[in-house]
């Protein structure tokens, strides 16, 4: 099962390194990490990881000890809207069979197309399992809380 954490931290040098170091130190693997600065000198860091090896109690205690963390939460699809940007290059001949809603061609080459697609991380995982892709890159999960 994938877990997604959202941390609100003070925007200062070395913070992202220290957060990633917490996972590295404990031998936990990060699936994706994204960060974006806010207007109030804070940054939101979104981290997704497989939690089957992660001791969530220990992780909670370690995050609480970090002096640069303002707030944090474990996020789910019930509490947050999650999206990820996927850029992929496919053969032109495969485009007709491509069953992706909301895809957009952003560049066309002689034999290939570069597409942009915005989906949930889980939809992107499934999509990549079913496609023959020349090349792709993913942004990492980003999210916003649902309206209450």
Kindly report the pTM of this predicted structure.
0.82
Backbone angles phi and psi of 118, in degrees to 5: -120, 120
Render pLDDT for 43-76 as a digit per residue (tens, 0 to 9). 999 999 887 778 888 899 999 999 999 999 999 8
CB 134, CB 90: distance < 8 Å: yes
Confidence of residue 132 (pLDDT cuts 50, 70, 90): confident
Q: Is the pLDDT of residue 97 over 80?
A: no
Among the ranges given (70-84, 87-101, 125-139), the one the predictor scored with the smallest mean pLDDT: 87-101
Rg for the chain (alpha carbons), in Å?
18
Residues paired with 75 in a beta bridge: 4
Render pLDDT for 4-49 as a digit per residue (tens, 0 to 9). 999 999 999 999 999 999 999 988 889 999 999 988 999 999 999 8
**Domains in the chain: ranges and CATH:** 2-75 (3.30.70.260), 82-145 (3.30.70.1150)
pLDDT of residue 93: 84
Backbone angles phi and psi of 26, in degrees to 5: -90, 0
């Amino acid at each position: 099962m994938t877990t997604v954490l959202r941390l609100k931290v003070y925007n200062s040098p070395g913070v992202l390194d220290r957060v990633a170091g917490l996972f590295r130190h404990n031998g936990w693997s990060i699936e994706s990490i994204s960060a974006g600065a806010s207007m109030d000198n804070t940054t939101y860091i979104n981290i997704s990881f497989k939690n089957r090896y992660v001791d969530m109690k220990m992780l909670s205690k370690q995050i609480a000890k970090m002096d640069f963390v303002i707030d944090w939460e474990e996020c789910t699809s019930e509490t947050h809207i999650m999206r990820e940007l996927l850029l992929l290059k496919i053969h032109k001949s495969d485009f007709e069979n491509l069953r992706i809603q909301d895809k957009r061609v952003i560049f066309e080459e002689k034999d290939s197309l570069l597409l942009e697609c915005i989906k949930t991380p889980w939809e992107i995982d499934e999509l990549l399992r079913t496609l023959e892709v020349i090349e792709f890159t993913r942004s990492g999960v980003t999210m916003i809380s649902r309206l209450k």
